[in-house]
């Protein structure tokens, strides 16, 4: 009888272990089926609009990024975008694009150029006394006319005087 009790206790301890194992497995199946582990899903949204004059507005958000952009009727584009880095840091940038090109207006994590302070050399001030300028005021010699020019001038003056006399003698109409 003692052997029978030992085998019954052996079966009962095995049965307890099997029951515990089945309970844990069934709990895992229930958690997996019911969705006990919550995995957040991002909400995605997009929008866009455009008019007949060339202006538009669009954007999207959801997940680790978002963006919005607007173009006005003058062709100037302004926008912003965000993204989450691998370390969880949110990077935000704003930009503009116009006749002067594309420029980042603001942003996180942008490199900053080093600032150098330069000292300009100062020249020593030396007082100097300057003498008044001296001008040589010699007038140029008049140009002498050639014989050909003298004859042409005399002919012109003769014809001009003849036309003036004829005009003065004519009656006024």
**In the chain, how many domains are there?**
1
Please state, in angstroms and rounded to a whole number, the distance separating the CA atoms of residues 136 and 4. Answer: 147
- Report the DSSP pairing between strands 65-71 and 77-84: antiparallel
Please state, in angstroms and rounded to a whole number, the distance separating the CA atoms of residues 37 and 39. Answer: 6
Q: By three-state DSSP, how is residue 163 classified?
A: helix
The answer to which of 3-12, 52-61, 97-106, 158-167 has the lowest mean pLDDT is: 3-12
* Segment 132-140 mean pLDDT: 84
Q: Are 41 and 31 in contact (CB under 8 A)?
A: no
| DSSP one-letter code for 71 | E
The encoded tokens of residue 128 equal 């100097």
The answer to whether residue 54 sits within a structural domain is yes
pLDDT at residue 44, as a whole number: 81
The answer to whether residue 131 sits within a structural domain is no
Q: What is the rounded average pLDDT for all residues in the chain?
A: 80
The answer to whether residue 49 sits within a structural domain is yes
Compare 149 and 3 and report the one with higher pLDDT. 149
Phi, psi dihedrals of residue 149, rounded to the nearest 5°: -70, -40
Tell me how crowded residue 151 is: count the other CB atoms within 10 A of its CB: 11
Q: Are 45 and 51 in contact (CB under 8 A)?
A: no
Residue 54's domain spans which residues?
Answer: 45-107
Phi, psi dihedrals of residue 71, rounded to the nearest 5°: -120, 125
Tell me how crowded residue 83 is: count the other CB atoms within 10 A of its CB: 14
pLDDT in tens, 90-133: 889 999 999 999 888 888 877 778 888 888 888 888 878 788 88
Compare 65 and 157 and report the one with higher pLDDT. 157
The answer to whether residue 94 sits within a structural domain is yes
The answer to whether residue 83 sits within a structural domain is yes
The answer to whether residue 148 sits within a structural domain is no
pLDDT at residue 28, as a whole number: 61
Residue 16 pLDDT class (50, 70, 90 cuts): low
Position 86 pLDDT exceeds 70 = yes
* Segment 39-47 mean pLDDT: 73
* Segment 43-47 mean pLDDT: 81
The answer to whether residue 13 sits within a structural domain is no
Position 142 pLDDT exceeds 90 = no
Characterize 39-65 residue by residue with b for buried, 16 or more Cβ atoms within 10 angstroms of its Cβ, and e for exposed: eeeeeeeeeeeeeeeeeeeebeeeeee
The answer to whether residue 67 sits within a structural domain is yes
Q: What is the pTM of this model?
A: 0.42
């Amino acid at each position: 009888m003692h052997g029978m009790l030992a085998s019954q206790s052996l079966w009962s301890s095995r049965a307890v272990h099997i029951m515990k194992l089945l309970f844990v497995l069934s709990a895992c199946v229930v958690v997996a089926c019911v969705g006990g582990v919550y995995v957040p899903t991002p909400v995605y949204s997009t929008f866009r609009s455009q008019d007949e004059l060339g202006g538009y507005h669009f954007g999207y958000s959801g997940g680790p990024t978002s963006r919005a952009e607007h173009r006005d009727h003058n062709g100037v584009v302004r926008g912003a975008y965000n993204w989450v880095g691998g370390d969880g840091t949110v990077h935000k940038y704003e930009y503009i694009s116009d006749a002067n090109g594309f420029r980042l207006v603001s942003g996180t994590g942008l490199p900053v150029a080093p600032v150098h302070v330069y000292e300009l050399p100062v020249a020593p001030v030396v007082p100097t006394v300057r003498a008044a300028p001296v001008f040589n005021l010699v007038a140029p010699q008049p140009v002498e006319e050639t014989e050909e020019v003298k004859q042409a001038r005399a002919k012109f003056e003769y014809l001009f005087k003849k036309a003036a006399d004829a005009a003065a003698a004519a009656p006024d109409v």
